[in-house]
Structure 1
Amino acid sequence: MATFFGEVLSVYSRAVEEEEEEEEEDEQIRREIEQKRCVEVHWLSQTDVGPLPCSELIVAAGPNATGFLSAYVLSSGGWPAVAWLSLWNERSRGSGPRDTAPAPEEPSCVLYRQKQVLICQCSCYVAEDQLFQWTEKVLGCVQTRGVRVTVLSDCSAAEYKSSDYLSGSSSAFLRCLKTDTHTHPVSCPLLERPNISAGLAAAVLSHCQVQRIPAVLYLCFSDVLEPDSLSMQAYRPAVSAVMKLDQSPGAEVLQKITRAGSLQSNLYT
């Protein structure tokens, strides 16, 4: 810049420096958010550290899916917890961000094991940006060679699209999707077009399709969004194809599961 007397002076502007500082602050914030939203696996025993040998992996997402496994499988005993997953997002009720403390009293995502069967129960919300790493973490807990994956997922009947929809029927029903490598018989009709699967269940199935892991996704369409004994029963043929189920659980077990769901959905509690 030239002065009135012709002297050339250097011009100093803080605009560039302020922009660089803002970019560094934004980058730091992004790193902190990514770190905060990481999904971590916490093993409960030094002897049970993945990847575990496994022939069957059952993943349950949703109150009726997790409720069925709790009532008809885990309630019989003999299913020790081997690991739990911690994650944080705006809607999750699980452990806090990158929690390094011991497992909470009731983790929202737990892995149970009995012999060659591994069960993953997920009752928390997994955000869209966490789906990929959640799936990688869970599948990383097992030796995928020779494993077959079964996914149970709750869906709202209002989202089901079909020209011959089961009008007037309030009972829950199953539809399924499977990977190309899944050659075993399925327990219900395939999901008709234009219906699609989304969220956690779709992420697991997509991962299995890419990695060529035999997998089948069972979608339970129901009008009941909270644990319901009739809706839970819809999963019986799907799980029976994987493992032998015990006789029907006692009324106390079912009441405990359904009561817990009704209390969580109560506006005044």
Structure 2
Amino acid sequence: MATFFGEVLSVYSRAVEEDDDELDDENEEDEQIRREIEEKREVYIEWYPDVTQSVSSGNCTLQCSDLIIAVGPNASGFLSAYVLNTESWDAVGHVSLWNEKSRCTSRQPPLPGEPACRFYRHRDNPSVLMCQSTCYVAEDQLFQWADKVFGSLLNRGLNVMVLSDSPVAEYKTPDYLYGSAVPFLRSLKSSAFKDQALCPALEQPNILTGLPAAVLSHCQVHRIPAVLYQCYTDVIGPDTVTMETYKPALTSLSKLVKLEPCPSADALRRFAKVSEAQSNLYT
């Protein structure tokens, strides 16, 4: 069939069509792998039978007036030694997740001493909840964690306190830090928190990262009163001196949470590691 000068004819190539088919197959395979990874890295909140009836999927029915979240070995050890060891607290749930550093995927309650994220409720005042997090939460799971935890709670009348650990090497200051000044607390709060913080505010250019930052950001966006107390310490593992640094932070909750002023040596020994002298050429 004759064509006029300048007409553009469509040229079809079997090789191009085969390449397109292979590309579509690769895209479908990549999409399937991506979905499997997302499902594997999903964050789940496992509530125990005591509260399952009051927490249904998609409904915020669990009443909570005060939520205390401890992130890190020293913050979690402080709650164990000074709070959970003295009051009547019941385990009511835990977070189930999987990532490169955490394998908290079991739907069953985690074993004692195992890195996990546990929830406790006060037996006499069920509106007070505590959360101990000693497992690693990956960056892509932080939003899920905050969204699902707070999605199970009634935000009306909710107050949040976060206790977190951080190495003093990450603290930025133009002044020299004397050894006697470590450990120390710094605070950050959401705009809805109107009370006075019990320690100096975190100075710029210091920033928060990880789960504490995700929780405080969620509270800021949803206008939930929240205050965070970050402890900077020069000790890698949990120790009694760093744990005691958190005691002033809970003075504002003295009517709700009873602190053990002087835990026994056995109680502290369970949650703190005794520092040993490093071996050298002469020992």
If the length of structure 2 is used for normalisation, what is the TM-score? 0.83
Tell me which of 82, 105, 109 is aligned to 2:117: 109
SS at match of 2:49: coil
- Go from structure 1 to structure 2 and tell me whether the alpha carbon gap of 1:216 and 1:28 turns closer, same or farther (over 3 Å shift): same
Q: CA deviation at 1:226?
A: 1.0
Q: CA deviation at 1:216?
A: 0.5
Greater Rg over alpha carbons, structure: 2
Tell me which of 124, 149, 165 is aligned to 1:138: 149
Contact kept in structure 1, 2:83 and 2:258, CA below 8 Å? no
Q: CA deviation at 1:229?
A: 0.2
Structure 1: unaligned runs, 5 residues or longer: 1-8, 263-269
Q: Does 1:34 align with 2:45?
A: no
Tell me which of 207, 216, 225 is aligned to 2:218: 207
Q: CA deviation at 1:10?
A: 7.0
For 1:74-96, what per-residue CA distance to the aligned partner results, in whole angstroms no more than 9, with x for missing partners? 1114110111110000011423x
- Go from structure 1 to structure 2 and tell me whether the alpha carbon gap of 1:148 and 1:165 turns closer, same or farther (over 3 Å shift): farther
Contact kept in structure 2, 1:65 and 1:232, CA below 8 Å? yes
SS at match of 2:92: strand
Q: Which amino acid aligns with 1:90?
A: E
Provide the C-alpha distance between the structure 2 equivalents of 1:120 and 1:141, rounded to a whole number of angstroms: 14
Contact kept in structure 1, 2:67 and 2:129, CA below 8 Å? yes
1:44-63 paired onto structure 2 within 5 Å: 44-48=48-52, 49-50=54-55, 51-63=61-73
What residue number does 2:19 align with?
15
Provide the C-alpha distance between the structure 1 equivalents of 2:149 and 2:180, rounded to a whole number of angstroms: 36
How many residue pairs are counted as aligned between the two chains?
249
Q: Which amino acid aligns with 1:112?
A: Y
- Structure 1 segments, 4+ long, off by >4 Å, are none
Contact kept in structure 1, 2:89 and 2:120, CA below 8 Å? yes
What residue number does 2:90 align with?
80
- Go from structure 1 to structure 2 and tell me whether the alpha carbon gap of 1:71 and 1:89 turns closer, same or farther (over 3 Å shift): same
SS at match of 1:244: coil
Report sequence identity in percent. Answer: 51
- Go from structure 1 to structure 2 and tell me whether the alpha carbon gap of 1:238 and 1:35 turns closer, same or farther (over 3 Å shift): same
Contact kept in structure 2, 1:170 and 1:222, CA below 8 Å? no
Q: CA deviation at 1:132?
A: 0.3
